[in-house]
A and B are shown apart, each in its own frame.
Chain A
Amino acid sequence: MAENIISKDEVEKIAELSNLDVNGQEDKLSKMLSETVKYVENLNELNTSNTPITYQVTGLTNVFQNAEGKSQTLTKKEALSNAKEEKDGLFSTKAVFDR
């Protein structure tokens, strides 16, 4: 069988970048992700050297909010209503920096 396009090592690296735990699923993911990448390579059959990129399908550009428009926001209580932990009216998280 041909080697998978996305190796097990790459799976681990992508998982780290994605902040996901894939412990025990590396082989399956290597196989499935490779299968998908292999499929989408059929796009190379089409010449797009002079084709522009589509960013927005109905052609809207530069949509800005009206400065006088009412903005909508949540109250602090609403914003915190689903938080696992809060402290002094703020979201509580694990420390990011080493002390």
Chain B
Amino acid sequence: MKNLNELTLLEALEGLKRREFSSIDLTKSCLSRIKKIDKKIKAFVTITEEEALKSAAEADEVIGKEGAIIFETKPLLGIPYACKDNFSTKGIKTTASSNVLKNYVPPFESTVTRKLKEAGTVLLGKTNMDAFAHGSSTETSDFFETRNPWDLKKVPGGSSGGSAVAVSSDMCIFATGSETAGSIRGPAAWCGVTGLKPTYGRVSRYGVIAMASSTDSPGPIAKTVNDAAYILNIIAGKDPLDATSSPKQVINYLLKSEEFNLKGIRIGKPKSYFEIELEEGVREKVDEATEKLKSLGAEIVDIDLISPKYSIAVYTILQRSEVSSNLARLDGIRYGNDRTNFGFEAKKRIMLGTYSLSAGYYDAFYEKAQKVRTLIINDFNEAFKNVDVLAAPTMPCVALNLGESDKSAMFGELMDVLTEPSSVAGLPGVSIPCGLSSGMPVGIQFIGNHFDESKIIGVSKVFQENTNFCKLKPKI
């Protein structure tokens, strides 16, 4: 019998609906897990125990009064979750793990957390991240490092490291993350959980502390892809407060995935993604996973795509430039601390962005990058005429040891080489666990065409139903 905190989202909802346990039981189970192990792992920046217990008690009262029917209007009622600390939460400290925003308490709510709140969730706390999401290891947090629960000497990945760790070690039922390029899929892969980065504009960015506005995409980190699909149903949609959010109608991703099967589905393996330096165990597990999908009815084809090395360059320029512009607002006058509080990583990024946007350099850098971005998008468009989804390793290796991210000026960009092309193109991607290499989780990612989340969810669902990798847990 599982402990309550170990339940998947769909299992927890069933239990609450059948009154097998209460939201208070579920919430206390998560909180006691946090108390027991978070000292070692350090996934949380803020724990909102009091508010969580209050929301859980309110949820129980409503369930008691209205019965299971209430879940039709409040589809996440009583579910405890962890929130990355770059989502503005009204009245609750939101730091982006930075000293600049160390004491910042937002006077407004992000759209994602508002939707989750309206759906009835219980907020357990805010999770650690690379400061301002600048990194791929959660080591650039201005507060502390988060550890990988599979091996405490290793990093969890980033920037949504705290959220991935909280899900992986069952401190919550699900978590929110945000991805600019790899920040959901990367830590999900390294922690052995499911991370879904939706199409750019599918989920509102309103109230998410901006990193690179032209690629930032909030999304769920969960225990299964069905859970992630269920959460996406709730957080997706047009938001008048984010002009870049899409007016395209939201479909029921979970329902759609139930109808899905692999018959006639063509899965492309981009040759250039497998030609880069990959850890042997990663290559092996991903090849085994695509073989498994073949045996389940999919057709696997090798395809040509532009080398991902160009996406590293495009992404680096766009992201540094947009960072310099987004972080210019932090002056320490209206809110937050002054600019002497920026960490080295933030300074480095702001300065490169300032350089690449300055007169005389703009054409050579930002404009050139935006043009190559067009080439990358066209390249994907061609690929999707031929295949339904793309499959590749999420990360080139398994989680690295703490301290290794310091070695390169572009550590994050180099680690995220396989998620950057789809990020700069705004495509949806999902990373799911596909086995272990040297005892550490390996993630396989599926990338879909714009707004074609249902196909990558469908492929992942078939894989998870026919394998046990998403049930593997770290021993902590």
State which size class the interface on B falls in.
35 or more
Hey, which chain B residues are within 8 Å of A31, CB to CB? 409
Assuming the contacts A43-B314, A53-B371, asked whether A18 and B354 have C-beta atoms less than 8 A apart, the reply is: yes
* Contact status B374-A40, CB under 8 Å: no
* Contact status A29-B201, CB under 8 Å: no
Contact of A43 among B336, B344, B348, B372 (CB under 8 A): B372
* Contact status A29-B105, CB under 8 Å: no
Contact of B371 among A22, A51, A91 (CB under 8 A): A51
Assuming the contacts A32-B409, A60-B201, A79-B107, asked whether A46 and B375 have C-beta atoms less than 8 A apart, the reply is: yes
Contact with A along B425-465 (1 / 0, CB 8 A): 11000000000000000000000001100000000000000
* Contact status A83-B342, CB under 8 Å: no
Hey, which chain A residues are within 8 Å of B377, CB to CB? 54, 57
Contact of A33 among B336, B342, B355, B373 (CB under 8 A): B355
Hey, which chain B residues are within 8 Å of A32, CB to CB? 348, 409
A95 at the interface (CB under 8 A from B): no
* Contact status A14-B354, CB under 8 Å: yes
Could you tell me the distance between the alpha carbons of A27 and B7 in the complex, rounded to whole angstroms?
51
Chain A binding surface, main DSSP class: loop
* Contact status B313-A25, CB under 8 Å: no
Q: How far is the CB of B312 from chain A (nearest CB, A)?
A: 7
Assuming the contacts A11-B351, A57-B200, A69-B240, asked whether A46 and B339 have C-beta atoms less than 8 A apart, the reply is: no
A89 at the interface (CB under 8 A from B): no
Closest to A72 in B: B241
Closest to A15 in B: B351
Closest to A57 in B: B426
Scan residues 86-110 of chain B and give those whose CB is less than 8 A from a CB of chain A. 104-105, 107-108
* Contact status A20-B351, CB under 8 Å: yes
Contact with A along B371-398 (1 / 0, CB 8 A): 1111101000000000000000000000
Residue in B214, B244, B370, B409 with the greatest tally of chain A CB atoms within 10 Å: B409
Assuming the contacts A29-B348, A32-B348, A52-B371, asked whether A42 and B309 have C-beta atoms less than 8 A apart, the reply is: yes
Hey, which chain A residues are within 8 Å of B107, CB to CB? 74, 78-79, 81-82
Could you tell me the distance between the alpha carbons of A63 and B316 in the complex, rounded to whole angstroms?
27
Could you tell me the distance between the alpha carbons of A79 and B107 in the complex, rounded to whole angstroms?
7
Could you tell me the distance between the alpha carbons of A52 and B373 in the complex, rounded to whole angstroms?
9
Contact with A along B353-379 (1 / 0, CB 8 A): 011001000000101111111110100
Scan residues 217-271 of chain B and give those whose CB is less than 8 A from a CB of chain A. 240-241, 243-244, 246
Hey, which chain A residues are within 8 Å of B317, CB to CB? 40, 43
A84 at the interface (CB under 8 A from B): yes
Closest to A32 in B: B409
Assuming the contacts A51-B371, A63-B243, asked whether A91 and B214 have C-beta atoms less than 8 A apart, the reply is: no
B73 at the interface (CB under 8 A from A): no
Q: How far is the CB of A73 from chain B (nearest CB, A)?
A: 10
Could you tell me the distance between the alpha carbons of A15 and B370 in the complex, rounded to whole angstroms?
25
* Contact status A20-B339, CB under 8 Å: yes
Contact of A82 among B104, B355, B369 (CB under 8 A): B104
Hey, which chain A residues are within 8 Å of B424, CB to CB? 57
Contact of A83 among B201, B246, B312, B333 (CB under 8 A): B333
Hey, which chain A residues are within 8 Å of B450, CB to CB? 57-58
Scan residues 10-65 of chain A and give those whose CB is less than 8 A from a CB of chain B. 10-11, 14-15, 17-22, 25, 29, 31-33, 35-37, 39-46, 48, 51-58, 60, 63, 65
Hey, which chain B residues are within 8 Å of A10, CB to CB? 355
Hey, which chain A residues are within 8 Å of B200, CB to CB? 57-58
Hey, which chain B residues are within 8 Å of A79, CB to CB? 107, 334
Hey, which chain B residues are within 8 Å of A18, CB to CB? 324, 328, 347, 350-351, 354
* Contact status A54-B347, CB under 8 Å: no
Could you tell me the distance between the alpha carbons of A40 and B372 in the complex, rounded to whole angstroms?
12
* Contact status B333-A91, CB under 8 Å: yes
Q: How far is the CB of A67 from chain B (nearest CB, A)?
A: 12
Contact of A25 among B312, B314, B324, B344 (CB under 8 A): B344
* Contact status A82-B335, CB under 8 Å: yes
Contact of B372 among A19, A29, A46, A83 (CB under 8 A): A46
Could you tell me the distance between the alpha carbons of A6 and B375 in the complex, rounded to whole angstroms?
28
Instruction: List the 8 closest pairs (A to B, CB-CB), nearest first.
Output: A57-B426, A82-B335, A78-B107, A48-B371, A32-B409, A40-B313, A63-B243, A53-B370
